[in-house]
A and B are shown apart, each in its own frame.
Chain A
């Protein structure tokens, strides 16, 4: 069965026809063709499918698409403004905070969610905020560095 849902996706109010048993992860990837949200484990453990629901990071594999009805969803495709990279994205590039890149979209959304409510996080708070995003390549060191640096850029209002 499918149902019409209305929600805000990446800043735009949309109407969509969603299968009732489809996760929002599959809905975003298959129906909306937004493949930046990754399928890593589909059991809420790896964080590769992290999206923001009403500003909070969640695992898209654990939520049904129809549950987005009336809410706001932001994916990695929705964080650039006017064609410019978000400072967190820019710092991930500049600090070499990625390797294979598969965890990167989810990692960046967790970081943005953190910085939106905590503009000056300690190293521990950064590590805690991304503890649900598994990375097998980087050892997290440069990711933590990039997020701290992005926090500074954002504080300076760049």
Chain B
């Protein structure tokens, strides 16, 4: 049996600080974000702020058609414009080197850096121009003449799967980019024996990340090396795909992530706006910048998968969930990229937060001629928990059981193992439900006035996914190095990518805590492929968990070396020595202590001048094949959440007022309560936007109807309810200093809580998102006229009945 990483690092754990001695971790508001001052003064540098002498500017030429063949591209007029330096088309990039997401599937990657023969969505990139100013580049881009043969487009995911549908990519595949199944137990038997069975349909819409910072990149080429500053959530993954797309070794590409103005999953993929300026920098010898306009971010980056659901459940009359069958159809848009994980995630999320032993689930991800769907915060979980948890409420009504009780009866408990092998550790799901119910006055919900409703919902999420984006020796790991400096400070080199969530602060805190230093005595060097060690990126709620553990192991490695030296000097054991207040204390003898600097100096003196340094890594010890087999454990821990929303709906106008919002989150030990609350409050904004505001609209021609913040509205300060955050649960034994994730899982129960509250307030059943005031108003009118109760699931039964059996599937994962 091979050594586990926990066994490998066991020696180091001896010198870890004990929880009772923590001075920073979990101690409230004792310190501030390490990047806060740079951000409030406007000094923090984002990608667009990097200005280099002699800078040129790149503008992409985009398709006006959803689906068309490229007949010719004429750049002569653009090149003739004074100030234009170069142009690029698809032929300038090596053929077959398409952009994708997991390295293991790179031969199947489907996005050309610039389209060669076909465009597959409005906004697809067909050419790029480089000029001495942004204005000239823009003007030149309009002079590139592209001749197209327009092809029929598929906009609806169900129509895309029809036998005679035009092929977005590959003929005779029903446009399926990914087909996934998950089966366990004896679902047919459970359904046959159940007291209660049902079948319901739900649907969610296309949403976008809408990070306030648009995507962009700045590139230079020197000494045979590309340097690219880019808006990425993972410098190493970007480096891999940029190098692959350019056809150069990874050693020739350096990717640096400057301050990032929000990601939410939308900045995980590799894009033309990164490869084109790099190529231009090589051609022209000048640094080149390419920053997208807002409409380009809508059209040319990524979106959240719209998902249609068919859900069947089997319960006993007492309310025990026996079995679940479901079909998920995910609208993939035009490309794969980070989107190919969506299927598996959608099925995995459907197995929690309620115990279910017998399952039969499938997910299909058809291509359509729309912007590509990809990862988005609460990846697949937001859609799945909306449908599956609104469904739980319908079951409760049908069985005549209190919805809170039905949830508590079936909720996952600590150290439960799921039907496909998910291994839960700590779990305070029941506590999150109870706390939310208590705070929202669940017991008194019968006393609500007309138009008022309370919704309660639950969810779970993986804490530290092991999704192996790139092939690494210890897959999907995070690595960190720590150096102790005899001048009285330490430096942490972390591959973790701070995208705004505050990971630099977490890594700094972990190192400062272990070494007994102040926050400002730890310098954080982050996400630069030349300076920092390997990290898979900011996604899957992995950064605090994996990166935090890696940082702790790295500082532990350094600390053990330092303390072993002084243990020899002092005749004690390393674990008897403590580090606090910038000093090193021999155990049990408060008089015997030296400064941090003296301690480092003494070590270096005995070690031929070598500095004290440590290396650490952390990876989920899972099976690499989980994404292919959908069996086994997916993450080292899982977080759990519940939400309660109190809404008042104006029954005349349909206007929705979310009056109160309660969030209960089990994130283990919250390392910083302000940071955790910030994640929760931001999650409520995304969840409220998802539920009541946001939707990308398309015409039959595949044109985006609302690619602006004027027409794609999301909550402002005036739209947000007051939010009460309650942290629940116990420190997790696997987490860094006991922490679990607090960034993505917190998005998932918001939608169903608000949706259910609206259902309760109106007496109607909304099955699709968004539930806007207009939709409510129309539904109330129709209900008055016809008595209809269910809205938003129209036509889905017929569509699901026509879903084809799978054949010729390119990406298949099944057990």
Query: What is A's interface to B at a CB cutoff of 8 Å?
Result: 29-30, 33-43, 45-46, 48, 75-77, 80, 85, 89-90, 92-96, 98-105, 108, 126-128, 130-144
Residues B483-503 near A (CB distance < 8 A): 499-502
List of A residues within 8 angstroms of B717 by Cβ:
126-128, 130-131, 133, 135, 140, 143-144
- Number of B residues, CB within 8 Å of A: 59
Distance in angstroms between the alpha carbons of A127 and B12 in the assembled complex: 49
List of A residues within 8 angstroms of B77 by Cβ:
none
Determine whether the beta carbon of B37 is less than 8 Å from that of A101.
no
Determine whether the beta carbon of A80 is less than 8 Å from that of B718.
no
List of B residues within 8 angstroms of A45 by Cβ:
708-710
What are 15 A-B residue pairs whose CB atoms fall within 8 Å in the complex? A34-B42, A35-B46, A35-B48, A41-B708, A76-B41, A76-B42, A96-B36, A100-B259, A100-B260, A105-B42, A126-B717, A136-B212, A138-B681, A139-B678, A141-B722
CB closest residue in chain B, given A106: B212
Determine whether the beta carbon of B685 is less than 8 Å from that of A39.
no
CB closest residue in chain B, given A124: B718
List of B residues within 8 angstroms of A108 by Cβ:
40
B141 within 8 Å of A by Cβ?
Answer: no
Rounded to whole Å, the gap between the CB of B26 and the closest CB of chain A is 15
Distance in angstroms between the alpha carbons of A138 and B708 in the assembled complex: 21
Known: A100-B211, A139-B683. A85 touches B720 (CB 8 A): no
Main SS class of interface, A:
loop
Determine whether the beta carbon of B291 is less than 8 Å from that of A39.
yes
Known: A40-B214, A136-B714. A141 touches B262 (CB 8 A): no
Contact partner of A141 (CB less than 8 A), chosen from B38, B40, B209, B720, is B720
B4 within 8 Å of A by Cβ?
Answer: no
List of B residues within 8 angstroms of A46 by Cβ:
212, 709
Determine whether the beta carbon of B213 is less than 8 Å from that of A36.
no
B51 within 8 Å of A by Cβ?
Answer: yes
B270 within 8 Å of A by Cβ?
Answer: no
CB closest residue in chain A, given B725: A141
Determine whether the beta carbon of B682 is less than 8 Å from that of A139.
yes
Determine whether the beta carbon of B682 is less than 8 Å from that of A138.
yes
Rounded to whole Å, the gap between the CB of A5 and the closest CB of chain B is 19
List of B residues within 8 angstroms of A99 by Cβ:
262, 500-502, 678, 682
Contact partner of A101 (CB less than 8 A), chosen from B29, B44, B291, is B44
Determine whether the beta carbon of A36 is less than 8 Å from that of B42.
yes
Known: A99-B500, A99-B682, A136-B209. 18 other contacts (CB 8 A): A29-B48, A30-B51, A38-B213, A43-B294, A46-B212, A76-B41, A85-B41, A89-B40, A96-B672, A98-B40, A99-B501, A102-B262, A136-B686, A137-B678, A138-B682, A139-B683, A139-B723, A140-B717
Known: A40-B212, A102-B213, A127-B718. A93 touches B37 (CB 8 A): yes
Distance in angstroms between the alpha carbons of A81 and B681 in the assembled complex: 32
Determine whether the beta carbon of A38 is less than 8 Å from that of B46.
yes
B39 within 8 Å of A by Cβ?
Answer: yes
Rounded to whole Å, the gap between the CB of A136 and the closest CB of chain B is 5
Determine whether the beta carbon of A104 is less than 8 Å from that of B40.
yes
List of A residues within 8 angstroms of B718 by Cβ:
127-128, 131
Which of B45, B209, B681, B714 gathers most chain A CB within 10 Å? B681
B35 within 8 Å of A by Cβ?
Answer: yes
Rounded to whole Å, the gap between the CB of B40 and the closest CB of chain A is 4
B223 within 8 Å of A by Cβ?
Answer: no
Distance in angstroms between the alpha carbons of A143 and B718 in the assembled complex: 12
Residues B465-484 near A (CB distance < 8 A): none
Rounded to whole Å, the gap between the CB of B208 and the closest CB of chain A is 10
Which of A30, A34, A93, A102 gathers most chain B CB within 10 Å? A102
Known: A89-B41, A92-B40. A101 touches B500 (CB 8 A): yes
Determine whether the beta carbon of B42 is less than 8 Å from that of A94.
no
Distance in angstroms between the alpha carbons of A141 and B686 in the assembled complex: 13
B43 within 8 Å of A by Cβ?
Answer: yes
Determine whether the beta carbon of A40 is less than 8 Å from that of B294.
yes
Q: Mark B762-777, 1 if CB is under 8 A from A, else 0.
A: 0000000000000000
CB closest residue in chain A, given B39: A101
B395 within 8 Å of A by Cβ?
Answer: no
B357 within 8 Å of A by Cβ?
Answer: no
Rounded to whole Å, the gap between the CB of B498 and the closest CB of chain A is 9
Q: Mark B24-67, 1 if CB is under 8 A from A, else 0.
A: 00000100110111111111111011010000000000000000
List of B residues within 8 angstroms of A98 by Cβ:
33, 36, 39-40
Rounded to whole Å, the gap between the CB of B767 and the closest CB of chain A is 27
Rounded to whole Å, the gap between the CB of B662 and the closest CB of chain A is 13
Determine whether the beta carbon of B211 is less than 8 Å from that of A136.
yes
5 closest A-B pairs by beta carbon, nearest first, are A36-B42, A100-B500, A102-B261, A101-B39, A139-B681
List of A residues within 8 angstroms of B753 by Cβ:
none
